[in-house]
Amino acid sequence: MSALNGIKVLDLTRVLAGPYSTMILGDLGAEIIKVEAPGGSDDTRYWGPPFKGTESAYYLCANRNKRAITLNLKSEEGIEVLKKLIKRSDVVIENFKSGTMEKWGLGYDVMKTINKEIIHCSITGFGQNGPYKNLPGYDFIIQAMSGLMSITGSDQSGPMKVGVAISDIVTGLYANIGILAALQERTRSGEGQSIDISLFDSQISALANVASNYLISGNIPGLLGNQHPNIVPYQPFPTLDGEMVVAVGNDGQFKKLCTLLDLEAISTDDKFTTNSKRLENREELVNILTKKMKTRTSKEWLLLLNENGIPAGPIQNMEQVFNDPQVRERNMIVEMEHPTAGNVHLVGSPLKLSRTPVEIHSHPPIAGEHTDEVLAEIGYSTDRILALKENNSI
């Protein structure tokens, strides 16, 4: 039995933060019902190429382990169906603009009269209060406004976004933390609650040590490139045939690195003996190490450093990543059949639970694929379902 077996989640989200959150809950065994407008309203269905059959790679990445229905939430009948689904659900997660659910007469105050145990999770760009609450929130905008872009990139590149929609991913993970905490608290109180998660808050929280550096020192960090603001050496180095990363985390590792590089003299140099000193003299030290690293190939250095406990790794492209034996051994690629896309490969789950392992059992659904099935489960007859379709309510 899966960890979240028996938990029912009503997913009113689209794009990435919300769907990513509910996909993880589905991987853990929760029943996920994905709700879209008739015809399909998740924008990512159309974000391509690449496509596999009629499905975009983007949509496929965040929507497995769900059943999909369509509802017209601008119709009274569509709202009535949704209320019946809320009554049987444990969690409702949505990412509409602030006030949208209230406009439909389905704010949390109404939801809890339908089901006092319901946990409502709202994901928005900026949260339910504050001067920005009505602004739309896209990952790129959040990366810019949160300060992430101000530290990402180099003097040559200027401010850069992270290559994946990291603000969405982080927000989806925070949403799940909140949902799981609320589910646990409900076992004591017997009541649900509302969770207000924003991309802006989540990304600022994820600035971690860089934000703390500023709050403690008052110094505004600039573009950090591939160097660490607090640790040296912790960056890429050129080799005889390419580039690789070395990440020395303490003084003992630095001393061992110097021995392996035949640079024992600098390990006892007062300018480099502690991390604080290495930070002060970063440029000089990096120049010394760079000159030495250029004398061997990346493969030679990786073999030597890994054998001797010095954190180091290659800079891999996607092809190299998904052919990496560690990735294969950890089941980080999964295959499944899709009714229109055929055989598809998806990224596996990083969650490895010993007694209740993750199960990836169903393909990312076609819009409305399970509408008839789900409505029948909540008491709608075949004739009534047909009438709802004719009225464009589902």
Strands 8-12 vs 31-36: parallel, antiparallel or unpaired: parallel
Distance CA 60, CA 45 (A): 8
Please choose, from the candidates 184, 193, 173, 17, the residue with its C-alpha nearest in 3D space to the C-alpha of residue 120: 193
- Give residue 382's Cα distance to chain centre: 39
- Contact in structure between 236 and 315 (CB atoms under 8 Å): yes
Tokens of 74: 């601008």
- What phi and psi, each to the nearest 5 degrees, are found at residue 120? -105, 125
Residue 394: Cβ within 10 Å count: 25
Q: What is the DSSP secondary structure assignment for residue 281, as one 8-state letter? A: T
Residue 102 token pair: 């209230």
205 and 174 Cβ atoms separated by less than 8 Å:
yes
Q: Cα–Cα distance between 38 and 388 in angstroms, integer?
A: 11
Instruction: Quote the DSSP letter at residue 147.
Output: S
Q: What's the rounded Cα separation, in Å, for the pair 310 and 256?
A: 8
Please list the residues that pair with 119 across neighbouring strands. Answer: 91
Residues in the chain, overall count: 394
Asked about 201 being catalytic, the answer comes back as no
Q: Which structure tokens are listed for 192?
A: 């649900």
Give phi and psi for 328, each to the nearest 5: -65, -45
Backbone φ and ψ for 376, nearest 5 degrees, come out as -65, -35
Phi and psi torsions of 269, nearest 5°? -70, 130
C-alpha–C-alpha distance, residues 337 and 333, integer Å? 14
Of the residues 42, 90, 139, 168, which is catalytic? 168
For the annotated catalytic residues, the residue numbers are 168
